Amino acid sequence: MRHSYIVLAALLLLASGCRHALLPELPASHGQLSRVMERYLDDDQGPDSLIEAVRAPTYAGKTPPRAVEPAQAPAVMAEALRRLEGSPTEAQVRQSLDDLAGACRSPLPAACDALRERWEDPKQISFQHVALPHEARDLKAATLVIIECQLTERARLRDCRVVESAPYGITAAMMDSVSRSVFWPAKFAGHPLEVSYTFLFNIPLNPEPLTPTQELGWARARTQRFPASPSAWAHLARALAKFTPDDPTYPEVLRRLHALVPDEWWTANELAWLHARDGRYAEAEPLALTAWREQPRNPYVLETLAVVKAGLGRCPEAVADQRQAMEALPEKWPAPERERFQRTLDTYRQQCPDMAPH
C-alpha cells in the first residue's frame, strides 16, 4: 500500500482574494527565503499561509523505498520504465514506483524527474460545504480541523481519522463534509493508486489578522494540544522562520517536524542548513539531498547543497552547485541576495584555484 501526503485546504467563512508580488522582504531568514522561492517558482499567487498542511513528495511512502546503489540506479530506472509499458499489473506499477524512488534517492536526477512526470495528484470533483453549528459562530478565535483519510484507487475515502479537532460540533460538521466529497484517484503512469489524503479546514471566525506574538502563541498551543500533528509543528516552524529565526527552540521544532514527515523538503533543507552552520556537514548531506530531490531548481536548496559540499572538502562540486544556484535566481530577485550568492560563489572558486575565472 502506497501512502502519499496530499493536501486539501478548505478555507471557510473568510477568503482572501488578494494578489501580491512574490518577492521576499529583506532581511529574511534562509527558511523564509526558501519558502518564498518555492511559491515564486510555482507561480503561487495565493495568500501566504503559515498553517498549510505539510507536503511530502507524492511518491513518498511510509517506509523508505528499496536501497539502490548509485552504479545500479540507471539500470534500475530503465527496468522500472520498461515494466510500465503495455498493461502492467498493479503489483508491477507499485514495484516500478518503488524502484524509481530508490533510484532517485541514489541519487539519480533523471529518476526523480521520471517520478514527478508520471505522478498525478488526486483531483476533487465536488465538495459540499455544510452549515456550522450555531455555537461555533460565537467562537472568537481561529480554528482548525484536520482529517486524514485513505483515498482508494477507486477514489473512495476510508479509515478517516481526526488529527486536530475543534469544539462546538465543528469537527463533526467537517467530517460530514468529507464524507460527501467526490474525487478522481491519484495515478502513477496512468494507473490509479491508493494514497493518504489530508483535509485541512481553516475556519477564521476572527477576521482580525494575528500579530507575530499571537501567531507564535497559537502555533505553540497547537503543538502542545496535538503533538502528533505534522501541520501543528509546521505552523510553528514556519512562524519561527518568519518572525524569530534565532529562537533557541527552532532547531528542536524542525527535528520534531522532520521526525513526523521525513521526506518533506523544506524541513530537511532547513535542518541541513543549520547543521552546516554548526560544522556538522556529514549529518547535513542526506538532509540536503532529501530537499534537492523535491526542489532541484530552488536556489536556496542548491545553496545548501553547495555549503555542505564545501564543508566536506568537495570544492568543485560546491562551485558547480553554487553556480547553478546563482543562475537559478530570478532576475527580479532582490539585489542584496544576488550579490550574496555571487560572493559565496567567488569564495568557493578561491578555494579551487584551478577553477578561478581567468
- Please say which residue of 210, 244, 259 terminates a domain: 259
Average pLDDT on 236-262 reads 97
Same domain, 253 and 332: no
* pLDDT at position 4: 41
Same domain, 76 and 219: no
Is 343 a member of any domain? yes
Pick from 166, 159, 165, 169: nearest CA to 197: 159
Same domain, 329 and 245: no
Is 65 a member of any domain? no
* pLDDT at position 319: 97
Is 16 a member of any domain? yes
3-state secondary structure of 152: coil
Tracing cell 479546514 back to the chain, one arrives at 201
pLDDT at 65 > cutoff 90 = no
Which sign does the torsion angle of CA 325, 269, 49, 112 carry?
Answer: positive
- Domain range for 116: 70-120
CATH of the domain at 328: 1.25.40.10
* pLDDT at position 290: 93
Same domain, 183 and 253: yes
Dump pLDDT digits (tens) for 7-19. Answer: 444 444 333 334 4
Same domain, 194 and 283: no
Is 63 a member of any domain? no
Dump pLDDT digits (tens) for 180-198. Answer: 889 999 999 999 999 889 9
Cell of 291: 530537499
Same domain, 254 and 336: no
- Please say which residue of 224, 259, 294 terminates a domain: 259
Same domain, 296 and 270: yes
**Other C-beta atoms lying within 10 Å of the C-beta of residue 39:** 13
The whole-angstrom separation of Cα 40 and Cα 26 is 16
Is 303 a member of any domain? yes
CB-CB contact of 41 with 23 (8 Å): no
CATH of the domain at 143: 3.30.2420.10
Same domain, 276 and 307: yes
* pLDDT at position 141: 66
**How distant, in Å, are the alpha carbons of 64, 75, 85, 92, 150 from that of 88?**
23, 19, 7, 6, 23
Same domain, 164 and 52: yes
* pLDDT at position 54: 80
Q: How many domains does the chain have?
A: 3
Same domain, 151 and 221: yes
Same domain, 149 and 243: yes
Q: What percent of the chain has pLDDT over 70?
A: 86
Q: 357 falls in which pLDDT band (50, 70, 90)?
A: very low
Is 64 a member of any domain? no
3-state secondary structure of 215: helix
Say which residues have a Cβ less than 8 Å from residue 25's Cβ, sequence separation at least 6.
none
pTM over 0.75: yes
* pLDDT at position 209: 79
Same domain, 187 and 290: no
- Please say which residue of 233, 259, 285 terminates a domain: 259
